[in-house]
Structure 1
Amino acid sequence: MEPTDKPRTRSRSPGHSSRRRDRDDAGQISQEDYFRLNAPFRLWLRKEKDRYFDEMSSDKAHRYFKSFVRAWNKGELRSKYYKQDGELSNLSKTVVTRHNWAFASKVDQKALDSVKDDIRRSTHTSNLETPAVKAPGQQGTRTRDTETKRDTETERVASEEQWEERRAQRKQERRRARDREEQILDEVAPKETGREAQLMKKRALHQARHTKQSLDVDIPDSEMYANSTDSLNHLKRERDTREQRKQEYQARRDAGGRGERLKEHAEKEQRTIEALKAMAEQSRAQGLGMSQKWTQ
């Protein structure tokens, strides 16, 4: 007897069956699920494509999400991407993003919380409801929500750019302030060289920089340099006082020298006068003696 050909059956791996079950449970998705599936999409970018969501433009991220949708609907993703529990939404930021900006948590925290709440509500609703044809009104509402969330993402990127621009502007202002302080100090600080002059210049620089760094707000240059100008004026007054004292000391010293010379000259004149008087007395005495002799 000829052997009977048995129909061959294609065996599938347990992993494929698991992915098929997870995909069937999750249902089909589309481009409109961009925000609802943001957490698994970020993880897919990081693990499968070695890319970070926060480093992409909006258009590029949507192109990658299109590939993510195709892989999702074909059941080609791993099981963890189909699990729509709270685990993916609570992923650490270090897993799906390269940086952890401090200002983003402050500026956009409310917006991020709102997006997370929308994702949780949408996920919970999609799990409870059976697949059905979407009503026209529901389709319009979902489109508006998508546009609103996209606007929120655009505002977040704009806030990051504004923060970077303000930081660069403040850095440039600090550099100009240091250059201006150096220029003013070179004009006002004591001209003589030495350790005291260098210390005074360093103290003035430290005080001016401390005045600028102690302020955490953006102020005009005219207000910022008000305290620095007062400090420099104080240094100028100290220099003038020191110069005046030096001149007075030199004047007293010169006056003292002239007084001693005048005193010596007066004493010399007095000695000369006394000598002339003595000679006159002696001559008169001799004259009286001669007259008495002739009389006798």
Structure 2
Amino acid sequence: MPRSRSRSRSRSRSPEIQRELPYSAKPIAEVDYFQKSDEFRIWLKDEKHKYFDELTGDKARSYFRKFVKAWNRGKVSKSLYAGVDASQIIARSQTAYKWSFASKGSAHDSKAIQAARAEVGAATYGGSGSSGPSRSRHDDDDDDDAPGPRRQVGPTLPSTSDLAYAREIEAENRDADRKNKRKRDNRDARDRVEDAVGPKEVGREGMLEKKRARREEDKNFREGKEDAGLEVDERTLLGGGDSFRDAIARRDQNKQKFQGKREEQAALARERTSGARNKEKQTMDFLQQLAKERFG
């Protein structure tokens, strides 16, 4: 029986031909998922008629692999190779959701939004605000050949936050220098005092010196307390003499005067009360007489 041999041919994948892309753009890979997100969103909407925010993560990655192949084969719109200005992309064109406030916006609001986008683009990419093509991992070695404007490289003017931070650092340095100078002055003053009166006692001798000084202070305090006092005679302490009798007389006179005023006020109050009662009685008598005349 003839022996059959299965011959297997080794198949090797032929590398894709490197095509020259429009605007000297560079090939991309799947790792450029975030760097080419703007171009991918536009391609997804125009070619696949899908919105990025409606896809799951796995589905978006799957479509991005197709986008990479189309990009490297030169089958993507030439405008995408030229670069996408993120500030010029209309937000409502990138999602199927219709915002309620979008239809209420005026022309003035649209111009303000457009100006804000242009300002953000200018601050991000420099120049006139156009972002140019997004940078990928293949652009690291060929920065000079990348089309479109790039970020400005080199020294720039400090921002407001940088100036404020520099002022804070300068103020902190001044405070630190002032504290150090005060410490040096105090140390120099102590050195001058020690040079004049000698070094301060330390250790056991210093403790004994403090105790002696404290005992001396306590002794002086006790002696001063014993000698303190005011010497007055008995007449001044117990009272008496003409001045005492005069004070008693003035007190009685003031008391009588106060009682007289109270009696006068009470009499006036009684008089006013009596007058009010008489007036009220006359009024009641008049009303009773009037009622008798009318009703019998």
Same fold (TM over 0.5): no
Query: Bigger radius of gyration, 1 or 2?
Result: 2
Give the number of the structure whose residues are more often helix, by fraction: 1
